[in-house]
A and B are shown apart, each in its own frame.
Chain A
Amino acid sequence: MLEIRNLKAEIEGKKILNGINLTVNPGEVHAIMGPNGAGKSTLSSVLAGRADYEVTEGEIMFEGKNLLEMSPEDRAREGVFLAFQYPVEIPGVSTTNFLKTAINETRKYKGLEPMEATDFLKFMREKMELMEMDKSLTSRSLNEGFSGGEKKRNEVFQMAMLEPKLAIMDETDSGLDIDALRLVSNGVNKLRNKDRSFVVITHYQRLLDYIVPDFVHVLYKGRIVKSGDASLAKELEVKGYDWIKAEVEAAQ
């Protein structure tokens, strides 16, 4: 589904990604961990098509198509979804209107008729129930005045609405209280299926107790320096990153 080969990217001349290789197959969940500033959000931004970053080398194939040649909106419409580490507030645009536009623009891209207003509302109600979302949030302006945790939950709700093929979740667990963490994880687990893949960026093993990954990768200085199964996350929880950093230094 997703094939990242030797990806290098920089911003304002500063090299941030230094040759990432990652393959994600349908239905897999990959966790990416790594110290602050390692380049995790940069990787997710490059996947989503943020223009600030310049890709200097490598390629990203998504379902056989060159992702790097697509506009951000086309990537989304092809099925890539990014749950932002810092979701943006958009005053004056309601979540409902926003999602209706997003869904219908995606349908248009695929040559489908727009969803009828009543069908849309029904669909939204179903997803709200599935994600255990509070109704008052969707009638408000998008993320405006939402608490940190509410914003994160709204990201997962949007994911449920847009039904992506590949969901990248950038620290969706940060800032969630214990109950919200469970709700979000349950939500994600309900969306898991044999075709849908996830890349979950997190600092905490705790999330991975709920969303059990197939693979865990450690990103450090813009490269994936270690990969393993779910047990790697447990090991990191105990030992921290120093031993990995030491391994990397030794290898150089």
Chain B
Amino acid sequence: MSTIEKLKKDFEHYRAQADASAFAQQRESAFVELQKLGIPSIKHEEWKYTNLKFINDIPFQASCLHTEAAKTYYTQNIVQTLKANRLVFINGSFEATLTQIQPEDAGIIITNLASARIAHADMFSKHFGKYATVEGIALNAMNTALMSDGAFIYVPEGKQTAYPIIITNISDASEVNVLNQPRNLIVVEKNAAATVIESFFAFGNHASFCNIVNEVYVGENASLEHYKLQRLLGEHYQNNYTQVFQEGNTHINQVTLTLDGKFVRNNLHFYMNGENCNTLLYGLYLLDGNQFVDNHTRVDHAKPNCFSDEKYKGILKDKSTAVFNGKIMVHLDAQKTNAYQRNQNILLSDEATVNTKPQLEIFADDVKCTHGATVGQLDEEPMFYMRSRGIPENVARKLLLNAFADDIAEKIKIPELVAILEEQIEKKI
């Protein structure tokens, strides 16, 4: 049975319970789109280096299993010292017992999407499916048609989160090959401010595939601190799609940390729909073994006077592979755009590879746009200099790699996250 046929069976199961809502309609048309597109192969320009063949090869099943192992895993691996609001999803479904809401954040809606669809129907229908398009994007169509549950965050006008909101997604492949399709919707209204951390774990002896879609709306003059933390052990595959839609005068600081992952594809998109936006997007990937991570980013400057700053850095060991594709679209209207992009990689082995590609499409004439990419080894000269002062090679290497990563670490406003990053650097090198 082909993947699409298998998914069709799942979809029919959902369809049997569906109502006549607009939501059900969205899923119907998403499934039609998925059938039309099929799973993209490496012949598809966007998937040139990133082979989705595993979707056909591995018999995944949509499982909502909540094992004790996953809960234990969660409690052992979250940053306990960080005071936060927490929502936890295991294999794509909501684990209500692990929810934590701080009283100071009672004015903010922090719940699961399935219940928000009923309880906050107007906000849900206003935003759901409006930013992450399914057209031409098979995996978005697949998620929209077959999504399970996810986080719904709504920060009302003028409100601020007192504590970060941590959305944790755990893929537990301890019993079968699992397919998770979580879906998050984050709305930060006008003049509001929020800090959101998406934390991803995977473990287990079987394979898991998490195909997640995030939609983020940031209203006029609002700001968002957004972190993604990927610590994915075992045979885990992840396709992580995020579309951020920004109104004017918004400020976004986004940091993606991929600290482990056999196969990770991040699609991070920003659309600046108003003037004077600030979009900062940073990323760091630390790979070893046969790990593979692909960061595809896209920044749309649709209006004048916006600023974007992008920097992705990678440290690669062993036979790991990284792909970076950074697209900057400066629309016809977007005069006085300032857009910066850099991708820098350090290879710690001869067998690690990086494919990096900037893609600038500029249709306005009065813009400032720069990009640059580097791939290299750790420099010999600083190494010898440090050793000549009595610092042994491994410590010198650690200092140099920490210095390399510091650029990104300093963009993280939460010390507990920085600590996780440093710990991981320590562990990996």
Closest B residue to A161 by beta carbon equals B389
Chain A residues with CB below 8 A from B399, complex form: 93, 97-98, 101
Does A54 make an interface contact (CB < 8 A)? no
Query: Is B404 at the interface (CB under 8 A from chain A)?
Result: yes
Cβ-defined contact, A105 with B388, below 8 A:
no
Q: How many residues of A contact B (CB 8 A)?
A: 32
Residue from A73, A87, A89, A109 in contact with B387 in the complex, judged by beta carbons closer than 8 Å = A73
Please tell me if the beta carbons of B381 and A162 are within 8 angstroms of each other in the complex. no
- A160 vs chain B, min Cβ distance (A): 13
Instruction: Specify which chain B residues have a CB less than 8 angstroms from the CB of A64 in the assembled complex.
Output: none
Asked if B403 and A91 sit within 8 Å, CB to CB, the answer is: yes
- Find out whether the CB atom of B395 lies under 8 angstroms from the CB atom of A82: no
Q: Counting CB contacts under 8 A, is A49 at the interface?
A: yes
Instruction: List chain A residues, Cβ under 8 A from B404.
Output: 92
The residues in A between 108 and 163 inclusive whose CB is less than 8 angstroms from any CB of B are 109, 141, 158, 162
A132 to B399 alpha-carbon distance, docked (Å): 28
Residues of B within 8 A of A90 (CB): 382, 385-386, 400, 403
Q: Residue A165 at the B interface, CB < 8 A?
A: no
CA distance A106 to B390 in the complex (A): 6
How far apart are B396's CB and chain A's nearest CB, in angstroms? 8
Beyond A92-B403, A92-B407, A93-B399, is A87–B385 a contact (Cβ under 8 Å)? Answer: yes
For residue A144, give the distance in angstroms from its CB to the closest CB of chain B.
10
Known: A98-B389, A105-B391. A93 touches B384 (CB 8 A): no
| A245 interfacial by beta-carbon distance below 8 Å | no
Please give the distance in Å from A154's CB to the nearest CB on chain B. Answer: 12
Given the interface pairs A84-B385, A98-B386, the reply to whether A73 lies near B403 with Cβ below 8 Å is: no
Residue in B381, B382, B390, B393 whose Cβ sees the most chain A Cβ within 10 Å: B390
Does A77 sit within 8 A of B, measured CB to CB?
yes
Contact of B392 among A50, A82, A103, A105 (CB under 8 A): A105
Say whether B400 contacts A72, CB under 8 Å. no
Which residues of the partner chain B approach A193 to less than 8 Å between Cβ atoms?
Answer: none
Q: Which residue, B381, B392, B393, B407, has most C-beta atoms of chain A within 10 A?
A: B392
Interface size for chain B: under 10, 10 to 19, 20 to 34, or 35 or more residues?
Answer: 20 to 34
Chain A residues whose C-beta falls within 8 Å of the C-beta of B390 in the assembled complex: 73, 76-77, 102-103, 105-106, 109, 162
Q: Which residue of A lies closest to B402 (CB)?
A: A92
Given contacts A90-B400, A91-B403, A92-B404, contact A102 B384 (CB under 8 A): no
Q: Which residue of B lies closest to A88 (CB)?
A: B385
B384: nearest chain-A partner, CB-CB: A50
The answer to whether B403 and A105 have CB atoms under 8 Å apart is no
B393 to chain A minimum Cβ distance, whole angstroms, is 7
Nearest B-chain residue to A103, judged by Cβ:
B390
Name which residue of chain B comes closest to A90, CB basis.
Answer: B382
CA distance A50 to B387 in the complex (A): 10
Complex interface: chain A residues within 8 A of B403 (CB): 90-93, 141
Distance, CA A142 to CA B404, complexed state (A) = 14
Q: With the chains together, A88 CA to B393 CA distance in Å?
A: 16
- Return chain B residues, CB-CB under 8 Å to A98: 386, 389, 391, 399
Contact of A72 among B382, B388, B406 (CB under 8 A): B388
Query: In the complex, A81→B388 CA distance in Å?
Result: 7
| Contact (A72, B407) CB under 8 Å given A98-B389, A105-B392 | no
On chain B, the residues within 8 Å of A48 by CB distance are: 388
Given the complex of chains A and B, what is the CA–CA distance between A76 and B396 in angstroms? Answer: 14
Q: How many Å from the CB of A75 to the closest CB on chain B?
A: 8
A221 to B382, CA, bound (A): 29
| CB neighbours of A93 from chain B (8 A) | 399-400, 402-403
CA distance A81 to B385 in the complex (A): 11
Interface residue A36 (Cβ < 8 Å from any Cβ of B): no
Q: In the docked arrangement, what's the CA distance between A158 and B395, Å? A: 18
Partner of A76 from B382, B388, B393, B407 at Cβ < 8 Å: B388
Among all A-B residue pairs, the 4 with the closest Cβ atoms? A92-B403, A76-B390, A72-B387, A102-B389
- Chain A residues with a Cβ under 8 A of chain B: 48-51, 71-73, 75-77, 81-82, 84, 87-93, 97-99, 101-103, 105-106, 109, 141, 158, 162
**Interfacial residues, chain B to chain A (CB-CB below 8 A):** 381-382, 384-393, 395, 399-400, 402-404, 406-407
> Can you report 17 A-B residue pairs in the complex whose CB atoms are below 8 A from each other?
A49-B388, A50-B384, A71-B387, A73-B391, A76-B390, A84-B385, A88-B385, A92-B400, A92-B403, A92-B404, A93-B400, A93-B402, A98-B389, A99-B389, A103-B390, A105-B395, A158-B389
Having A72-B388, A87-B385, one finds 15 other A-B pairs with CB under 8 Å, namely: A71-B387, A71-B393, A73-B391, A75-B388, A76-B389, A76-B390, A81-B389, A90-B382, A93-B400, A101-B391, A101-B395, A102-B390, A103-B390, A105-B395, A141-B403
